[in-house]
């Protein structure tokens, strides 16, 4: 007879082998769970400490260069070493708590059994990827032990061993997670192996697929789409797709995978990414966004549709400080959406304004997307930063004009005009936040500091403001903040590494040349190519959550753009703008989901009200596409290109 879970353990269970096995598995599960929590906690603290160490090392370099006037030669080597271990150990930590970026819109429709199978396949593929990185990462790092770093004279083995260490931890976390989550049946816990089997099906099925007319590239597309629909993390999907191509083609050593992953993230310039992420988090927690919004509201809140316009301008200002779209939505949305609700704005209208403002905010430097694109295209980070100001201003002006004209129709109220004492008070509160971009861009555009050094200074500035000036950050908050920023960094950088493997294989297969020939045969119009590229980036950014789209498509599309005579800098800015719009497409864009959650409104109910705002974004994108002057005038004045 069946019994409910609330009945407790029957006395007969203790005397039966089945009951004994169930209790032993539960006990083992508890032990494994505790061990994994301890290991994951230690790993988390480690990546937080690595991030803090990177900041200290870079600041030592800044001090030695600009204060003592005696540059320390080992700064770049040591910071890169710490960064590599942060990325790959952090990627393993993200495996433990299942925080890697994945597309889950399809598996939500699966049955419970279907979701369980998809989860096992995903976990198994993660195990397979970890095994690949651990084994072949060790082989590759040993093979380059003879190569030594410039300043520290360290063997390159120490740098690339990070890939093997991260892969090994990934295997441990992925294999132990089912038991750590409380699985009591070994069959289910070990079903992770099904994913490993699935990872080998490509090589088994490849001859049959080729006989059926599947070319290697088509096989990659099928693999990529299929794994995305199963909710496999995008980074693992990219690695599996690259391996599919390698197996289909044959003759490529597997050491190419850890080599490309390590090389893809081994850059001193990329250190600016975790620093800007950390600075944005510190500023969000430190009260900077609230003071910026209060200042802008006191200046123009009395204008028709003033509070909506305040959101746009505040987003523009904060984007120029935080560098992160997610930080923008969280910081500005959490302050302005409740305020708009109190002022009479509908929830859908409030969320639409915040989402649209954040979408264009990706063009306001410093932008993390710009740093990645600079690495992919070979453009300087400073030139990309300079190129983003005017296009963002154009899109912001269109949005402000739309809000101003539609305010009477929406029945939007206006604030009373601020008094002189109120203006002085809010202006004093905004001085410290506004000094941040002045220092940041003054250092970068003036050639005083590199973007990486400037971002480290931004961290110190934000930390000082939050701890000592506004005192809204406690010392006890810092470990959590540092670990959180390090984990986000590891997730996005692991994506970059996986994308490097995939794009290298696609390039080796000749895909860019194939696409170029197809585009040119279709039309010789650069505008048509631009429009097709924009459509592709916008749509895929909604599905792949933005950054992975740029990581895959920019290396493929940029050479074609150059063949059409399009300026690479102009193409990069338009691509970044398209990506920013894509992540806010309802109902699947991660940006619109986040904004809706802050506004406590369902994503489905935002589609209609958001449509005209989306139209404004597309109009702005077309304007900056058709008028390259907006992109190129500032960098041409500041840089020799």
Q: What is the domain partition of the chain in residue ranges?
A: 14-265, 269-638
What are residue 148's phi and psi, to 5 degrees?
-125, 150
Residue 520 has pLDDT above 80, yes or no: no
- Pick the closest to residue 577 from 394, 362, 314, 375 (CA basis): 362
What value does the mean pLDDT take over residues 315-331? 70
Cβ neighbours of 556 (radius 10 Å): 18
Q: Which of 319-323, 336-340, 616-620 has the lowest mean pLDDT?
A: 319-323
| pLDDT computed for residue 324 by the predictor | 63
**pLDDT tens figures, 586-601:** 877 778 888 888 888 8
Dihedral over alpha carbons 300, 301, 303, 308 (to 10 degrees): 110
| Termini Cα distance of the chain | 80
Distances 519 to 275, 526, 533 between C-alpha atoms, Å: 39, 10, 11
- Tokens standing for 235? 């980074």
- Tokens standing for 123? 């976990």
| pLDDT computed for residue 344 by the predictor | 83
pLDDT band at 412 (very low <50, low <70, confident <90, very high): confident
pLDDT band at 179 (very low <50, low <70, confident <90, very high): low
| pLDDT computed for residue 48 by the predictor | 95
| pLDDT computed for residue 173 by the predictor | 87
pLDDT band at 221 (very low <50, low <70, confident <90, very high): confident
pLDDT greater at residue 593 or residue 184: 593
**pLDDT tens figures, 482-510:** 999 999 899 989 999 999 999 888 888 87
Distances 465 to 126, 459, 460, 472 between C-alpha atoms, Å: 41, 10, 9, 9
Residue 43 DSSP code: H
CB-count exposure of residue 15 (10 Å: 0-12, 13-18, 19+): exposed
- Pick the closest to residue 284 from 225, 219, 353, 330 (CA basis): 330
**Runs of H (alpha helix) within 411-510:** 420-445, 451-464, 478-508
What value does the mean pLDDT take over residues 167-189? 68
**pLDDT tens figures, 139-154:** 999 999 999 888 888 8
The residue whose two tokens read 């430097």 is 365
What value does the mean pLDDT take over residues 4-33? 46
Q: Using CA atoms, how far apart are residues 346 and 349, in angstroms rounded to an integer?
A: 5
Cβ neighbours of 278 (radius 10 Å): 29
- Pick the closest to residue 538 from 590, 592, 496, 580 (CA basis): 580
Q: Using CA atoms, how far apart are residues 36 and 92, in angstroms rounded to an integer?
A: 12
Residue 80 has pLDDT above 90, yes or no: yes
pLDDT greater at residue 18 or residue 515: 515
What value does the mean pLDDT take over residues 57-72? 85
pLDDT band at 513 (very low <50, low <70, confident <90, very high): confident
Local structure of 155: helix, strand or coil = strand
Check: CB of residue 486 under 8 Å from CB of residue 90. yes
Q: Using CA atoms, how far apart are residues 585 and 164, in angstroms rounded to an integer?
A: 38
Q: What is the pTM of this model?
A: 0.85
What value does the mean pLDDT take over residues 306-335? 77
pLDDT band at 21 (very low <50, low <70, confident <90, very high): very low
Local structure of 362: helix, strand or coil = coil
Check: CB of residue 171 under 8 Å from CB of residue 135. no
pLDDT band at 69 (very low <50, low <70, confident <90, very high): confident
**pLDDT tens figures, 255-305:** 999 999 999 999 888 999 899 889 888 887 887 878 888 898 898 888 888
- Pick the closest to residue 444 from 460, 431, 455, 430 (CA basis): 455
Residue 191 has pLDDT above 50, yes or no: no
Q: What percent of the chain has pLDDT over 90?
A: 31
pLDDT band at 30 (very low <50, low <70, confident <90, very high): low
| List of residues 6+ apart from 207 with CB closer than 8 A | none
Burial 290-324 (b: 16+ CB within 10 A, else e): bbbbbbbbbbbbebebbbbbbbbbbbbbbbbbbbb
Q: Which of 80-94, 229-243, 260-274, 594-608 has the lowest mean pLDDT?
A: 594-608
Residue 14 has pLDDT above 60, yes or no: no
| pLDDT computed for residue 193 by the predictor | 53
Could you tell me where the beta strands, DSSP code E, fall in 246-302? Answer: none
Cα atoms in the 13 Å half-sphere on the side-chain side of 363: 32
Check: CB of residue 226 under 8 Å from CB of residue 220. no
**pLDDT tens figures, 453-473:** 988 998 999 899 889 988 899
Residue 69 DSSP code: S
- Pick the closest to residue 323 from 277, 283, 389 (CA basis): 277
Residue 218 has pLDDT above 50, yes or no: yes
Q: Using CA atoms, how far apart are residues 41 and 37, in angstroms rounded to an integer?
A: 6
| pLDDT computed for residue 215 by the predictor | 66
Residue 517 has pLDDT above 50, yes or no: yes
Residue 195 has pLDDT above 80, yes or no: no
């Amino acid at each position: 007879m069946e019994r409910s879970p609330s009945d407790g353990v029957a006395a007969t269970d203790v005397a039966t082998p089945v009951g004994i096995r169930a209790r032993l598995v539960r006990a083992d599960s508890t032990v494994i769970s505790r061990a994994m929590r301890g290991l994951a906690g230690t790993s988390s603290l480690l990546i937080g400490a690595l991030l803090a160490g990177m900041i200290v090392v870079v600041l030592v370099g800044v001090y030695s260069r600009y204060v003592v006037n005696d540059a320390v030669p080992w700064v770049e080597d040591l910071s890169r070493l710490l960064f590599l271990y942060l990325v790959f150990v952090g990627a393993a930590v993200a495996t433990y708590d299942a925080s890697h970026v994945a597309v889950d819109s399809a598996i939500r429709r699966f049955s419970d059994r279907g979701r369980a199978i998809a989860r096992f396949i995903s976990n198994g593929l993660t195990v397979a990827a970890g095994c690949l990185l651990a084994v072949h990462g060790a082989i590759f790092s040993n093979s380059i032990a003879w190569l030594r770093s410039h300043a520290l004279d360290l063997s390159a083995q120490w740098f690339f061993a990070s890939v093997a260490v991260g892969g090994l931890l990934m295997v441990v976390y992925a294999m132990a997670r089912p038991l750590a989550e409380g699985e009591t049946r070994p069959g289910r816990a070990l079903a992770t192996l099904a994913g490993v089997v699935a990872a080998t099906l490509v090589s088994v099925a490849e001859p049959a697929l080729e006989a059926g007319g599947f070319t290697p590239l088509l096989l990659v597309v099928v693999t990529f789409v299929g794994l995305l629909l199963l909710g496999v993390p995008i980074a693992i999907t990219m690695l599996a797709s690259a391996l599919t191509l390698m197996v289909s083609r044959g003759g490529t050593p597997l050491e190419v995978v850890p080599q490309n992953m390590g090389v893809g993230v081994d850059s001193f310039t990329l250190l600016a990414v975790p620093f800007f992420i950390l600075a944005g988090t510190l500023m969000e927690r430190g009260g900077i966004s609230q003071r910026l919004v209060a200042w802008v509201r006191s200046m123009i809140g009395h204008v028709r549709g003033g509070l909506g316009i305040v959101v746009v301008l505040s987003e523009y200002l904060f984007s120029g400080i935080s560098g992160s779209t997610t930080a923008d939505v969280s910081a500005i949305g959490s302050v302005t959406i409740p305020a708009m609700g109190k002022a009479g704005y509908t929830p859908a209208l409030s969320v639409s304004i915040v989402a649209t403002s954040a979408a264009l905010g990706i063009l306001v430097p410093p932008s993390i997307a710009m740093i990645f694109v600079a690495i992919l295209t070979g453009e300087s980070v400073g030139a990309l930063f300079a190129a983003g100001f005017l296009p963002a201003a154009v899109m912001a002006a269109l949005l402000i004009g739309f809000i101003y004209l539609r305010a009477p129709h929406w029945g939007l109220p206006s604030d009373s005009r601020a008094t002189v004492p109120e203006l002085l008070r809010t202006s004093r509160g905004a001085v410290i936040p506004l000094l941040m971009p002045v220092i940041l861009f003054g250092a970068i555009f003036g050639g005083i500091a590199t973007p990486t050094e400037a971002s480290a200074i931004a961290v110190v500035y934000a930390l000082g403001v939050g701890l000592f000036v506004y005192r809204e950050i406690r010392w006890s908050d810092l470990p959590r903040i540092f670990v959180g920023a390090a984990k986000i960094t590891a997730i996005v950088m692991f994506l970059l590494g996986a994308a490097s493997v995939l794009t290298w294989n696609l390039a080796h297969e000749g895909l860019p040349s194939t696409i170029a020939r197809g585009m040119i045969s279709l039309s010789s119009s650069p505008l048509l190519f631009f429009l097709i590229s924009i459509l592709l980036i916008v749509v895929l950014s909604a599905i792949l959550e933005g950054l992975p789209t740029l990581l895959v498509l920019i290396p493929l599309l940029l050479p074609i753009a150059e063949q059409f005579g399009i300026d690479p800098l102009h193409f990069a800015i338009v691509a970044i703008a398209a990506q920013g719009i894509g992540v806010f497409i309802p109902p699947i864009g991660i940006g619109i989901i986040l904004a809706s959650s802050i506004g406590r409104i369902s994503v489905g109910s935002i589609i209609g009200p958001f449509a005209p705002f989306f139209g404004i974004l597309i109009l702005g994108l077309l304007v900056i596409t058709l008028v390259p002057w907006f992109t190129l005038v500032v960098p041409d004045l500041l840089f020799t290109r």
